[in-house]
């Protein structure tokens, strides 16, 4: 095996540009939603585990670039097209989740006392479609480039984070649904 840097693949650069652009968009949208929710009396939950998501999303592109550029991984073309379809489906699911949740969508857990769980769109059949989209993205994205190590590492870290976050989020939503709305 010839270790060392290889030319930076165009499609990897495009993928990373999309991924970073989306993360910046999501952070900006989340900040705007946080301000509005705070003004309405929302409460944050799960702050102590958020760092795991920060580490995951910071290391993910680094791991991917290392594996693709330095180790020279690549996927068979037939698999690439299947994985692109899975990845695109994950993007559609994530956009639908963001749209359905509206101002309640956030990268953190913010709930408004008295708010009932949203049960429309994908949320009618699935409890956490946004997380399903991210799981699909963290598997299919790296595998499009043959980066199986990155897919495994990112998926394991994401599974650890979600195993903490989902129960916290479920409790927060249940607690908020049972609470009296804030008077303002």
Under 8 Å CB-to-CB from 109, ≥6 apart: which residues? 44, 45, 46, 165, 168, 169, 172
* Sign (positive or negative) of CA dihedral 69, 72, 76, 82: negative
pLDDT for 5 equals 63
Lowest-confidence pick of 107-111, 136-140, 171-175, 177-181: 177-181
Q: What is the pLDDT of residues 50-78, one digit of tens each?
A: 999 999 999 999 999 999 999 999 999 89
Domain ranges of the chain: 10-178
Q: Which helix (H) or strand (E) holds 45?
A: strand 43-45
Could you give the percent of the chain with pLDDT greater than 70? 95
The Cα diameter of the chain in Å comes to 66
């Amino acid at each position: 095996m010839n270790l060392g840097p290889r030319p930076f693949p165009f499609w990897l650069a495009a993928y990373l540009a999309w991924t970073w652009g989306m993360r910046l968009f999501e952070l900006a949208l989340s900040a705007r939603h946080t301000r509005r929710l705070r003004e309405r009396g929302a409460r944050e939950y799960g702050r102590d585990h958020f760092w795991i998501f920060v580490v995951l999303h910071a290391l993910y592109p680094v791991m991917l670039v290392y594996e693709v550029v330095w180790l020279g991984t690549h996927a068979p073309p037939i698999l690439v097209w299947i994985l692109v379809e899975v990845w695109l489906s994950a993007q559609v699911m994530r956009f639908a989740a963001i749209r359905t949740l509206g101002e309640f969508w956030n990268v953190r857990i913010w709930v408004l006392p008295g708010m009932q769980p949203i049960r429309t769109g994908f949320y009618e059949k699935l409890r956490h479609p946004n997380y399903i989209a991210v799981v699909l993205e963290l598997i299919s994205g790296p595998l499009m480039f043959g980066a199986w190590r990155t897919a495994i590492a990112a998926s394991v870290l994401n599974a650890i984070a979600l195993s903490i976050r989902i129960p916290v989020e479920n409790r927060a939503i249940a607690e908020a649904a049972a609470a009296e709305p804030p008077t303002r």
